[in-house]
Structure 1
Amino acid sequence: MSAIRLLALSGSLRRPSYNTAVLTALAELAPASVRVELVGLGQLPLFNPDEEGLHPQVAALEAQMAAADGLLIASPEYAHGISGVLKNALDWLVGGYGFVDKPIALFNTSPRASHAQAALREVLTTMSGQIIDSACVTLPLLGTQADSAVICAQPDWAEALRRSLDDMVSVIERRKQIAASML
């Protein structure tokens, strides 16, 4: 099998973000056959359907999405909802075909942040993404000051993230085998 490419989107722009730390830890824990590519969302313009096709940052995100085998998303909850930066990125991607049927794993860094996760599931399902429930992970990071190194060093957290990657890889490899058999 060829290398698996996972696109990682953090719904937080904060430098000491738990969400970005989880995605960075996933990149550090990934086996050599899996490439986790963190994508910054802070430079995307505000979504305006009248401006589709006009922004190189959006075109780059669309190309990255189309080339990815799967998607890893971690987002904070703000006012019981998805962060604005993540929702903005998803709005830019909603019309593209690169998102359809993409396997997705969700990461939640606060067990009490259930509203954003539910809203995110609704948006992603509406966009025809395929959430892989067995690959979704909640880690109790709120108030820990944990960065990616701490996450990787904590055995239970690191194991949960490795299992998530294993589940994503299994789904993606199975899909690739099915696609190859149809040729």
Structure 2
Amino acid sequence: MKFLAISGSARRASTNTAMLYALQSVAGPTHMVSVYDRIGELPVFSPDLESEPPLEVAALAEAIADADGLILASPEYIRSIPGGLKNAIDWLVSRHEVIGKPIVLAHASHRGDDMLRQLRVVLATLSDRFNEDLFLRIPLMKLSPNEISEQLSEPRHQNEMRQFLDAFASYCEAA
């Protein structure tokens, strides 16, 4: 099963991005997880450019088309969806690659429920295969990079991530 894990953070030391790379590392031979961590490189959405999207947008759309499912992980900015992630979604909303694509959320904080609530509404509108019941949350906020690595290496988190990927694969196959 091929998953594209999209980080909604433009921050290089993002806890959400770190969690997605940890998912990639536990995927093993059963699943392949590719991490998209370039949300900040997408140009600002313009409907005038939809017919011939910029290369960065076309590359993201191609990666989405190639994936069996999408995993989104995002921080909360001012109790809302970060602008970079919302911009990426705006680029995708009228494209065919995301239609019917299975989508789930992961989150690397103990807070952020306002953003998650908003993102769930947006994703349920974007794809009829958004599954809000499959959700991975590992609180990593305010930890140093070494502490994040230690947390994500703990057997209980490794098992949690594997179970999340297996459950998502089952959901993708049930189409």
Determine if the TM-score, normalized by the shorter chain, exceeds 0.5. yes
Written as runs of structure 1 = structure 2, the 5 A alignment for 1:32-181 is 32-39=29-36, 40-52=38-50, 53-146=52-145, 149-175=149-175
**Secondary structure of 1:112's match?**
coil
The residue number in structure 2 matching 1:17 is 14
Note the alpha carbon deviations across 1:118-166, whole angstroms, 9 max, x for none: 1110111111242334431111111222566324311222222111101
Deviation at residue 51 of structure 1 after TM alignment: 1.1
Question: C-alpha distance in 2, partners of 1:93/1:31?
Answer: 29
Which runs of at least 4 in structure 1 moved beyond 4 Å after TM superposition? none
Deviation at residue 97 of structure 1 after TM alignment: 1.4
Question: C-alpha distance in 2, partners of 1:122/1:134?
Answer: 13
The residue number in structure 2 matching 1:180 is none
Question: C-alpha distance in 2, partners of 1:169/1:54?
Answer: 30
Q: Which moved more, 1:108-117 or 1:127-136?
A: 127-136
Question: C-alpha distance in 2, partners of 1:143/1:158?
Answer: 20
Number of aligned residue pairs: 172
- Contact conserved, 1:29 with 1:152, CA < 8 A, in 2? no
**Secondary structure of 2:39's match?**
coil
Question: C-alpha distance in 1, partners of 2:7/2:127?
Answer: 20
**Secondary structure of 1:78's match?**
coil
Deviation at residue 78 of structure 1 after TM alignment: 0.4
- Contact conserved, 2:80 with 2:115, CA < 8 A, in 1? yes
Runs of 5+ in structure 2 lacking a partner? none
- Contact conserved, 1:135 with 1:163, CA < 8 A, in 2? no
Question: C-alpha distance in 2, partners of 1:54/1:152?
Answer: 37
Aligned alpha-carbon RMSD (Å): 1.6
Runs of 5+ in structure 1 lacking a partner? 176-183
**Secondary structure of 1:97's match?**
coil
Answering whether residue 26 of structure 2 is matched by residue 29 of structure 1, we say: yes
Question: C-alpha distance in 2, partners of 1:76/1:143?
Answer: 12
- Contact conserved, 1:80 with 1:113, CA < 8 A, in 2? yes
Question: C-alpha distance in 2, partners of 1:111/1:102?
Answer: 27
TM-score (structure 2 length as normaliser):
0.91
TM-score (structure 1 length as normaliser):
0.87
